[in-house]
Amino acid sequence: MRNRAAVAALCLAASACHTFAFHVSDAPSNPVPVVDRKTYWLFGTFPEQDIDAGAICPEGVSKIAEETLFTDVLLTAVTLEIYAPRTSTYYCRLPTSPVTTTTP
């Protein structure tokens, strides 16, 4: 019985977290990302959420990473996938400095 529980715990821990990222631009990004936690219900299928990246990053987005953290997996497992949180990280572009031209 102990071996089965250990194997089950190991399988759960090994498959727990994932990350995927969208590299949108090569423009320099702010080193301090904007972290957003979203809540999903019923196996993560409800509600569908539209994200306005322009509201989060007015200068534009350089990279977006979607993660399932250990705490997200733990909360999902404890609630039998009724509650499924996700963590998104937005790396915003740095503001562009205005180009100044001097005329002789």
What's the pTM value of the predicted model, to 2 decimals? Answer: 0.68
Phi and psi, residue 53, nearest 5°: -65, -30
Q: Where are the domains of the chain?
A: 17-92
Cross-strand pairs, 74 = none
pLDDT at 9: 62
Report which of 14, 93, 11 is spatially closest to residue 57, judged by C-alpha positions: 93
Beta strands in the chain (DSSP E): 18-23, 34-41, 61-68, 83-92
Q: What is the pLDDT of residues 25-79, one digit of tens each?
A: 888 888 889 998 888 888 777 777 788 888 988 888 889 998 888 888 888 889 8
The answer to whether residues 43 and 81 touch, using CB atoms and an 8 Å cutoff, is yes
Structural Rg of the chain based on CA atoms: 20
